[in-house]
Amino acid sequence: MTGDLTGCTALVTGAGAGIGRETAVLLARRGAAVVVNARGAANGARTVSAIVADGGRARLAAGDVADPDTATRAVAEALDRFGGLDILVNNAGIAIPGTVETTSDGDLERMLAVNVKGIVHMCRAALPALRESHGVIVNVASVAALKGHHERAVYAATKGAVVALTRSMAADHVADGVRVNCVCPGTTLTPALADKIAAAADPAAQEAAFVARQPLGRLARPDEIAAAIAYVASQEAAFMTGSVLVLDGGMTM
């Protein structure tokens, strides 16, 4: 099996929908036991159910990654239920539109709390187990970290921080045998994006505007991003650390 993960345990944050759900399901199909983190327990439970129905093993660890206790509980679930932790996928994130002038302090703090502090919390809790397993961390950033986007100033800054954090953590933990990499998706047709398109005054025009940003002429599918994350997490990418894998339909070429 390509990217066989039999015997591994993975923890995926933001796995209630979209890229996170597709990643959790794919890792399970490749043999990993998966701890599913989602802020909404109902969405997380649906991901767990999908994995179990497909013959996989999964447990729910609901909670907001902005809360350090969520990280502690999620890692404990992996250790208690599955005996270890080999893969941490930091996918949870939020995007609140705005320029530096229009973004409120509350929105600024919320994006920093989830997109940056959330990764720090999860990594801090997971690293002791990942040292033992010589495991892998995959952080999900965004093409917004690499290319300017209208009214995404603070969001882009937080995702740029994820790229920088990835590289520094890779340097810090290479001697521990822990690989740390980052995936930067372009515009992806997640449920959240679909809702945004549907809510626009002219949904067709809004979708066309999103599509126009990708020179390949379409939006990414969540399963395509999940496949990249699964590759980076697998032993097929054993020589990759401190890297940024960009899947943006040619946006930054």
Residue 3 pLDDT grade (very low, low, confident, very high; cuts 50, 70, 90): confident
Rg, C-alpha atoms of the chain: 17
What are the extents of the domains in the chain? Answer: 9-185+221-242, 187-219
Beta bridge partners of 10: 34, 87
Residue range 100-119, pLDDT digits in tens? 999 999 999 999 999 999 99
Rounded mean pLDDT of 151-156?
Answer: 96
pLDDT (0 to 100) of residue 247: 97
State the Cα–Cα distance between residues 98 and 96, nearest whole angstrom: 7
Rounded mean pLDDT of 6-11?
Answer: 98
**3-class state of residue 45 by DSSP:** helix
Q: Is the dihedral of CA 125, 126, 131, 137 positive or negative?
A: negative
pLDDT (0 to 100) of residue 87: 98
Residue range 222-235, pLDDT digits in tens? 999 999 999 999 99
Residue range 118-150, pLDDT digits in tens? 999 999 999 999 999 999 999 999 999 999 989
Rounded mean pLDDT of 89-93?
Answer: 98
State the Cα–Cα distance between residues 178 and 223, nearest whole angstrom: 25
Domain 9-185+221-242 in CATH 3.40.50.720: yes
Residue range 62-77, pLDDT digits in tens? 999 999 999 999 999 9
- Which residues are known catalytic residues? 155
3-state secondary structure the chain: CCCCCCCCEEEECCCCCHHHHHHHHHHHHCCCEEEECCCCHHHHHHHHHHHHHCCCCEEECCCCCCCHHHHHHHHHHHHHHHCCCCEEEECCCCCCCECCCCCCHHHHHHHHHHHHHHHHHHHHHHHHHHHHHCCEEEEECCHHHCCCCCCEHHHHHHHHHHHHHHHHHHHHHHHHCCEEEEEEECCECCHHHHHHHHHCCCHHHHHHHHHHCCCCCCCECHHHHHHHHHHHHCHHHCCCCCCEEEECCCCCC
pLDDT (0 to 100) of residue 1: 42
